[in-house]
Structure 1
């Protein structure tokens, strides 16, 4: 069994807000590639965040969604043309190719590509260079970079659609994740690991299985897929947050839940802290289209706005960390 690194500089030793590299340095490299994660580490990210889906032969791999159409070149592989499917994923009808219909060996014949090439054309120059990494690959990279840099590097996996996958395929990604974390010695409270999910029941299960901190992700609207009687709005009230605190250690809310339309703080951080919960909102991005109007550089969508101004507002709001596509910009590297 692998063992946690214990003799290195701790994650976030300076006490600032955690910088969580959203799918790696995805503002500079195609997301969820080893190149993106390594870039983020080199730029000083405290944590790297892989979204985890699963293969037909039960291997956890990093993709934004189980639909791999937008992030790989699968459409260019005629041998997989008959794998195209239409699936109802948590109420969204999606036509594409899905990770759970491929073995790992088949997935690794594909190559990653930029998901938003119109917005990030510079990233597209890396299309075709990188394989789909496994979760084990990412952990190995983390450990290699720890040895190289002399500092701890946290890992912040998200299980994508665990309830839906269990219902539709019988694959239990909660169990697969726990097995992997235990195998790697990353299941303890001091392992510099957060596990995040949008569903409630998987977090409640994880709370009984591992000691790593758990984060309930919160979308802009609606409620958890596995709890149709709940709404995010009700879960973000003081009483709702107190209930979340019985099985999670923090929340990962949409940015708009933390900062209102004019960029001032809502009550969410205060209320979450009162319940004993950490707050890690998503996502800090440099492009104007993702920034509040007052922080945009001009009217273009892809122009670089005042990303550090957004970070300052989050700091003023009292958040404990934040997800970003651009760790180098927020770290000043």
Structure 2
């Protein structure tokens, strides 16, 4: 497709001649030709425009558990893609080669929204995921893809840090069927020091998604030794989730590995993930998971009422299935929060690269 530069809505003119981008709380002030920190929103012809519309670093069919989403059609396939850039500056970024890229040449693949929706259908995917970098920065493309997907009964998934202003937030999440939001820590110190951002806008986004939309919500926290893994912080975080979002929002605690600007930190021990999971369960979170480590117990889903194994997982592979056709525990009848098919699905448990045309 040829159109890669499109107009955007969320900006306004300042008295000093600059324009302010109003997509996220960074509120970048831009002169002609200047790009925001996200890199893909640029002032051109006196307006803020998205310059990566329809472009991608590549397309891949993943298991939905890789997003991670454990309560959104488990075992199903999801067509995943991302672009360049990001509106956060996390020093531990695990996808820094694309999110921190300042080269448009990495966006070698192109697809229209309609092509993406058809590709997902033809690949047998239930959903399309905006992932690898934050879809908030390419929201015009994401929203158009979501509209095309709904025409074919394909769902859309956003993997995001939730760093977005209120007006675009409403437009963005009205188009999204499920979201996994990175709750990176529970202190503003961490967000400011390590991510170049602030905590409160993310908490506001989480409350908005859960209380004001139909978007299914799960949370992920990458635990970094010595930075966001103390008992006190984990207790405060999980208690906030239960009190403000409710006990049914799943939480994923995943392992950090040294990367980009945090190569001096050790990998997260598996015991840390298990400790975080126990703290979450003890504070009332009904479904807490471990990730980036092999932990069948920490990756599986159990009935919060009777303790029965409902969805057995080994890495991203689905094993035993204890739900009835209505998504309830086959043992005691308690409904499991989320979206489920009549039976387990078994998409490939490892990513498969595809071409979209």
State the TM-score, normalizing by the size of structure 1. Answer: 0.41
Q: Which has the higher helix share?
A: 1
Q: Which has the higher strand share?
A: 2
State the TM-score, normalizing by the size of structure 2. Answer: 0.39
Rg bigger for which structure?
Answer: 2
